Amino acid sequence: MAEMIIRKDRRAGRLTFNRPQALNALSHEMALAIDAALQEWRDDPEVALVVIDAEGERAFCSGGDIAAVYRAGLEGDHRVGREFFRDEYRMNARIAEYPKPIVAFMQGFVMGGGVGVGGHASHRIVGDSTQIAMPETGIGLIPDVGGSWLLGHAPGRCGEYLGLTGARIGAGDAIFTGFADSYIPEAEWPALIERLAETGDVAALAPHPRPEAPLEGRDLSAFGGHTVAEIVAALEAAGDEAALKPLRRNSPLSMAATLALVRAARGDASLRDSLARELRFTARATAESDFLEGVRAQIIDKDRNPQWSADASPAHVEAMLAPLGEDEIEWENGK
């Protein structure tokens, strides 16, 4: 059975994640398949819009399938990771820049690589089960797949908070922070997808009122600190143990780099700029960060006890985000 079901359905191009047993984790092959389908449909007059959805109730896409990247990195082969991330980011940009509407129906877990697919669509639908997060600092990585762009454009200090802590947010907060556009109860999705395929017209989308957004009223001013240490000190002074817990658990290097990425994204002209900067970290991740140890602790051995050792100094953060020279991401034909 194909891990990504790709077909034309009347007026719609249809992309369906089909790895429910793996929470629809995105593999390199799936990323390439999505990209190829979008290229094929771009100038196809029969395709008026694209619908992205997922099999299973638990997840739209829980993140990237990084097992192959981990195994290769352990063996000293850092090329596998670089190629996966580069191809994935090109696909993320294609979704964001697509000339036809892309409607993403995001139920359950939408994390990491799932945000890279659904979070850049032109019409992003969430429901009652939706749980969105960028939890990469917990595995020694950074919010990538354009996550730094989305976080950087979230209101107030929501971007720093979500990026450093990896906190999960529901439908209301997803819309409030700019990770989604519309709330529609999931029971309505099948009929809605049917109408989209039949009409090829996004006018069929009829959003319901936005659910409550707890982040809207939360004081996140502590996350305005210049450094992670300043943020921690402010949270300690405020007695905010809920926010402090993940900051004490996550990779110091990843958090420091995330802070730099989110703030740099606020000055970026486009998503491409943020993706290119993210690749500078992820291309080096298997060799020069806490990534291998984070994956070991959280995903492979599951002991949840990572032993972080990467240098988290400002100089090393700067080095991790320095241009890659010949390995900088290239955007094919400028498109």
pLDDT digits (tens, 9 = 90+) for 68-102: 899 999 999 999 999 999 999 999 999 999 999 99
Question: Does the domain formed by 4-334 have CATH 3.90.226.10?
Answer: yes
Q: Which residues contact 7 (CB under 8 A, 6 or more apart)?
A: 13, 14
Residue 335 in this model has a pLDDT that exceeds 80: no
- Give 282: exposed, middle or buried? Use CB within 10 Å, 0-12, 13-18, 19+: buried
The end-to-end CA distance of the chain, in Å, is: 32
- Cα(263)–Cα(256) distance, rounded to whole angstroms? 11
Domain ranges of the chain: 4-334
Question: Please, what is the average pLDDT of the chain?
Answer: 96
Mean per-residue pLDDT for 106-127?
98
Residue 160 in this model has a pLDDT that exceeds 60: yes
Instruction: Look up residue 136 and give its DSSP letter.
Output: G
The candidate with the shortest Cα–Cα distance to 50, out of 93, 111, 92, 6, is: 6
Contact 285, 141 (CB under 8 A): yes
Instruction: Look up residue 139 and give its DSSP letter.
Output: G
- What are the pLDDT digits (tens) for 198-234? 999 999 999 999 999 999 999 999 999 999 999 999 9
Q: Which two tokens stand for residue 330?
A: 């290239």
Q: Which two tokens stand for residue 283?
A: 């291309």
- Cα(299)–Cα(166) distance, rounded to whole angstroms? 16
Whole-model pTM? 0.96
Helix axes 79-96, 271-288, angle to 10 degrees: 160
